[in-house]
Structure 1
Amino acid sequence: MLLFKSLPDGKTLVSKNGIVDLGFFSPVSSTDRYVGIWYHKIPSRNVVWVANRDKPIKKNFGMLSINTEAHLVLLSHKRTVVWSANSTTKALSPFVQLLGSGNLVLRDGKDQNPQNYLWQSFDYPSDTQLLGMKIGWDLRAGLNRRYTAWKNWDDPSLGDFTVEYALHNYPDIVVRQGPTMYLRVGLWNGVWFSGISHAMKNPLHEPKFVWNKDDVYITHDVKNESLVTRIVFNQTLYSVLDIIWIEEDQRWTTFSFAPSDNCDRYNVVAKWKLCNG
């Protein structure tokens, strides 16, 4: 199934390139049901996006569907709306498609432009940044694409570890632990960000920074398209992890992480010296 108007619990939507799945899942230690996206061919179910993070369904009778108002909604077993992805434009012939990038999009079948999305999951990230996703602002729409970690490795509800662009005269990426500043990535220097000790050109990703009157965001392209990579904001470790799938070993490995040492953290005193955030 490549697109749908309704998806019941027990069925999955697979992207055309066979990279990712959309469906219902339960964490290991819970029977709660969530709608999420994960990798299709990787044995461990690593969920990269969750719709109803703070509103789980309690029974296996959920339904993801398009309602009469052309909105994507998640219904409980009692047919009450648990979660919705309201679009600003009503479609004449709406349908949902899962792209190979991991982006879940709501489209109008009568629109000849395949990139005219009425709604997309990439605008509402969870704890994982995939290639093509943005951290930052659509200033015209007032949309802040911020990332929030899972509460723990087995609980997709909103944690207190957040990553977003702070808008001021010179915007930069800030990481917070609750209300407290935890890490400032710093200003863009044309290659990477100045506020981390390992500020160097990443051999895996090609970052792209956009800053104009309409947009302020950072996104990444992959340098080797055969690699499966993701950036995860992990609350258990309070770290930003750059992770690669190793096909030969059938496992994920961490390529880099931040903060990489105590001086990467914001405004802390390390052993023998003061670290300036």
Structure 2
Amino acid sequence: MEGLPFFTFFCSLISSSIFLKFCVASDTITPTQSMVDGETLVSSGQRFELGFFSPENSKNRYLGIWYKSAPHTVVWVANRNNPITDSHGVLTISINGTLVLLNQEGSVVWYSGLSGIAENPVAQLLDSGNFVLRDSLSKCSQSYLWQSFDYPSDTLLAGMKLGRTSNPDLERYLISWKSPDEPSNGDFTWRLDTPRLPQLVVATGSTKKYRTGPWNGIRFSGIPVFPNEQHYSHIMIFDKENAYYMLSFDNYSANTRTTINHSGFIQWLRLDEHNAEWVPLYILPYDPCDNYGQRGANSICRNSRTPI
């Protein structure tokens, strides 16, 4: 142990990337560091992990976030429409403070935007599953230069918003994967629709597939009471500047997610840690009568499962 002070001093001085890998904090990278394929960031509470992955039956590589201790479940993908075809991807912070994903040739595969300038930018994976770019001197969410929660893939986590905030140019919505093995943009979107009262709508292109019914002040009128609803609450902010929906969970927050699958179904899922599997709390549309426009002129729909 006598050599430890010397190692700490030595590590802080060496600029070689080989030594910098040993100095990288487990959940952050800085402009003097980079993360290569095979390395990962892990959030401080060991809930989420960020790194490179390949879907099953695919050799393409993607930068994504997944649950650390749960079954390998990807919740966010950076370069979903522009995969890397080998294992030489590199994530770094550029000179101007943006996150940049490079391939073996040094070409930009994906990059983040910026809402400001930081003198000391740092990228950090949070325990919420949010990957943020911020000034190292500030941890306030209002000062994030960029965050993955603003650019969701197919999954809604606790604390994520669907809709718009004070920035009218930024709309948050989910887009399904193309298939279980292909994370590129699929056929279905799930977004907050605000013609009058807000409602959530699943659509393929401009064609509506399913809608929740309008917000009634407590929940969306077309969604029944969920099992274990005492463990979470629906939140809707709807005013002149904001129109967004989010779910707030209690102690289930890290192990509960909502996703739109490649077939256009919305699934509320909770992790059964004992059996290491995701258990559906609810799936929408529940039956064919839930599909948009199925009820006809007299609002009557009948099927063999639940006559209405």
TM-score over 0.5 (shorter chain): yes
Q: Which residue in the other structure is 1:187 paired with?
A: 214
Q: Which residue in the other structure is 2:273 paired with?
A: 247
Q: Which amino acid aligns with 1:274?
A: I
CA distance in 2, matches of 1:189, 1:97: 37
Q: Which amino acid aligns with 1:86?
A: G
Mapped pair 1:274 → 2:263? no
CA distance in 1, matches of 2:154, 2:252: 22
1:27-176 alignment, distance < 5 Å: 27-42=55-70, 44-111=71-138, 113=140, 115-176=142-203
CA distance in 1, matches of 2:287, 2:138: 50
Q: How many pairs align? A: 271
Q: Which amino acid aligns with 1:3?
A: T
CA distance in 1, matches of 2:202, 2:46: 33
Mapped pair 1:230 → 2:257? yes
Mapped pair 1:26 → 2:54? yes
Q: Is the 8 A contact 1:227 1:244 kept in 2?
A: no
Where does the alignment leave 5 or more consecutive residues of structure 2 unmatched? 1-25, 302-308
Q: Could you say which structure has the larger radius of gyration?
A: 2
Query: Offset at 1:142?
Result: 2.0
Greater shift in the superposed pair: 129-138 or 168-177: 168-177
Q: Which residue in the other structure is 1:2 paired with?
A: 27
CA distance in 2, matches of 1:13, 1:30: 23
Distance 1:16 1:91, change over 3 A: same
Q: Which residue in the other structure is 2:44 paired with?
A: 16
CA distance in 2, matches of 1:167, 1:140: 16
| Structure having the larger proportion of residues in strand | 1
Q: Is the 8 A contact 1:128 1:230 kept in 2?
A: yes
Distance 1:255 1:60, change over 3 A: same
TM-score calculated relative to the size of structure 2: 0.83
Query: Offset at 1:227?
Result: 6.5
In angstroms, what is the RMSD of aligned CA positions?
Answer: 2.0
3-state SS of 1:188 partner = coil
3-state SS of 1:140 partner = coil
User: What do the CA deviations read for 1:78-127 (whole angstroms, capped 9, x no partner)?
Assistant: 11111111112121111100000000000011336465210000000000
Q: Is the 8 A contact 2:128 2:254 kept in 1?
A: no
| Structure having the larger proportion of residues in helix | 2
Q: Which amino acid aligns with 1:163?
A: W
CA distance in 2, matches of 1:115, 1:187: 30
CA distance in 2, matches of 1:174, 1:142: 20
Q: Is the 8 A contact 1:101 1:131 kept in 2?
A: yes
Distance 1:245 1:66, change over 3 A: same
User: What do the CA deviations read for 1:42-69 (whole angstroms, capped 9, x no partner)?
Assistant: 2x21000000010000111111111011
Where does the alignment leave 5 or more consecutive residues of structure 1 unmatched? none
User: What do the CA deviations read for 1:171-218 (whole angstroms, capped 9, x no partner)?
Assistant: 32111023310011121112210134x256834421111011221111
CA distance in 2, matches of 1:205, 1:184: 21
Q: Which residue in the other structure is 1:212 paired with?
A: 239
